[in-house]
Structure 1
């Protein structure tokens, strides 16, 4: 199973790629595998302010609907229209084309509290 080392992870299976104060957010390979076939994505509104842990997006599969939580407080600055048009991107490329939203981070401390790839691997084992 793929767990990219450059990303940070939440126990609730969101991943973050940090570029300056912008975090790209998606769900892990493990999470998409547990969900099975993703059939619908509800994206947040650009400009929406969120706090760490807020339900921010929804991913629905043939098995279940799951909230995607904000990994940090901040403002939604971009969403991925490609996953809205083709939700299966979350299954086929969870760390690439299957990203869900981008957030401008208020506090880097929120990111520092996230799991490393090694800690996330232990969490899901």
Structure 2
């Protein structure tokens, strides 16, 4: 199941683990991504909080937590290859995996990425 937040993050749910990143539209809007400030594994996050920031040649943008839980994995490849988000935002360019603590929050997410 894939869902989107109003702020253009996506969630791909696999069991109770949510793979989280930014949508293709958001990646295109940012332009060439040069840096991702990855959060720590084990950190408890709440929906709506800032998850991390992404820097591009155009600007820096915050990425928000689309669903509450605990960060169980980060995409370490982004440290050396932040451009993976531009190349494959909703695939290899995922940012974190979150163990979901409240699955009802998924009902508040959208089935499609909203217009920018």
Length-normalised TM-score, structure 1: 0.89
22, 31, 39: which one pairs with 2:34? 39
3, 17, 38: which one pairs with 1:22? 17
Shift of 1:84: 1.5
Match of 2:79 in 1: 84
Shift of 1:46: 0.3
Larger helix proportion, structure 1 or 2? Answer: 1
Match of 1:101 in 2: 96
Match of 1:3 in 2: none
Length-normalised TM-score, structure 2: 0.96
Instruction: Indicate the RMSD between aligned Cα atoms, in angstroms.
Output: 1.0
Q: Determine the C-alpha separation between the residues in 2 that align with 1:111 and 1:60.
A: 27
Match of 1:8 in 2: 3
Any stretches of 5+ residues in structure 2 without a counterpart? none
Count of residue pairs brought into register by the alignment: 116
